[in-house]
Amino acid sequence: MLNDFKRFIARGNVLDLAIGFIMGAAFTTVVRTFTDGIIMPFVGLLTGGVDFKSKFWDLSGSTPANATPEQIQAAVESGAPLVMYGQFINDIITFLIVALAMFFLARYAVSIFRGLEAETPPPAEEVLLTEIRDLLKAKQVSS
DSSP-assigned letters across all residues of 36-73: IIIIHHHHHHHTTS--GGG--EESSS-S-TT--HHHHH
> Is residue 113 domain-resident?
yes
- At 117-131, the pLDDT tens digits run 666 788 899 989 999
Domain coverage including residue 102: 2-50+84-142
> Is residue 61 domain-resident?
no
DSSP classification of residue 111: H
> Is residue 21 domain-resident?
yes
The tally of domains found in the chain comes to 1
- At 85-143, the pLDDT tens digits run 888 988 888 888 888 888 888 898 888 877 666 667 888 999 899 999 999 998 888 76
pTM of structure: 0.56
Q: Round the CA-based radius of gyration of the chain to a whole number and report it.
A: 30
Q: Binning pLDDT at 50, 70 and 90, where does residue 19 land?
A: confident
Q: Identify the pLDDT of residue 102.
A: 82
Give the max Cα distance, the chain: 97
